[in-house]
Amino acid sequence: MASHFDPAIPLAGHVAVVTGASSGIGLSVAEALAGAGAAVVVNYHSDNASADTLVDRIRADGGRAIAVGANVSDEAEVARLFDAAADAFGRIDILVANSGVQKDASIADMTLDDWNTVIGVNLTGQFLCAREAVRRFRTQPADRRPARSAGSIVTMSSVHEVIPWAGHINYAASKGGSRMFTRSLAQEVAADRIRVNAIAPGAIRTPINHDAWDGDEALEKLLRLIPYGRIGEPDDVARAAVWLASDAADYVTGTTLFVDGGMTLYPEFRDNG
């Protein structure tokens, strides 16, 4: 397919792999990519029922999708995930490396397993999936590309790629690492016409931070950190992912798009510090 950008279906003819797509931000991203015309591989770790429900919904809306289980921190499972994508749809154009977990504890109480699991899923998972995507982007025939780029990678970071977070050092370290992973990879593969960008969500209403927004008191406390005055919704992030993955963002690489309602704007200084 020759690349011809139609803003109404910006991802027509594209194939996308979205990791951690059975809930939260990943689910919304997968749905939005499908709505923008992409065939979507809905990766899940353990919740195959939610992944299947999403696939059914995408298909009912006339889209193309499959669900594939894989632990993104496992090298062999990641290879199988990309093989399944290629078997089902013949190619891959977009990776949204979204899988992420939190295992919160103060440092004295943080187990090595808490540390390794979070770094393994959030950071090593991005490495393994991006490596697989780059290998495949490089070997696919250029004349069959649906996009101007040879492929696009979007890593799911967090405001905690820049905001230190006591009690969550494993998570903040994984996202700080993801920031430099994304920028360094973007620099490395730009000459291949592969784009690599990050999205840094702030507080988004998903299961991962349920305790931070469930209940008036928790929400009021959270909103003090958000100048824009509302919690984010998963589709706030999904729209950014569609844009970054599409030809609309063809000259954008190595950047982090903050989708955070201003959480990174030092809200404590709103009233003159």
Active site residues: 171
Which of 202, 234, 244, 247 forms a contact with ligand BGC (CB under 6 A)? 202
Q: Which two tokens stand for residue 15?
A: 């194939």
Is residue 203 close enough to count as binding ligand BGC by CB under 6 A?
Answer: yes
As beta bridge partners, residue 267 has none
Binding test (CB under 6 A) with ligand BGC, winner from 19, 22, 28, 102: 102
Q: Look at residues 224, 232, 239 and name the one whose alpha carbon lies nearest to residue 260.
A: 232
- Write out the E strands in 22-160: 39-44, 65-69, 94-97, 151-156
Q: How far is the CB of 178 from ligand BGC (least distance, A)?
A: 11
CA 223/CA 12 separation, integer angstroms: 38
Handedness of CA 230, 234, 238, 239 (dihedral sign): negative
Minimum distance, C-beta of residue 254 to ligand BGC, in the bound complex (Å): 21
Size of the site for ligand BGC (CB under 6 A): 9
Is 160 a binding residue for ligand BGC by CB under 6 A? The answer is yes
By CB under 6 A, the residues from 46 to 65 that bind ligand BGC are none
Q: Taking CB under 6 A as the rule, does residue 116 contact ligand BGC? A: no
Q: Can you tell me which of 84, 159, 198, 199 binds ligand BGC, judged by CB under 6 A?
A: 159
Cα 207-209-215 angle, rounded to 5 deg: 95
Token pair in block for residue 138: 């490089």
Sites of contact with ligand BGC (CB under 6 A): 102, 158-160, 202-203, 208-209, 212
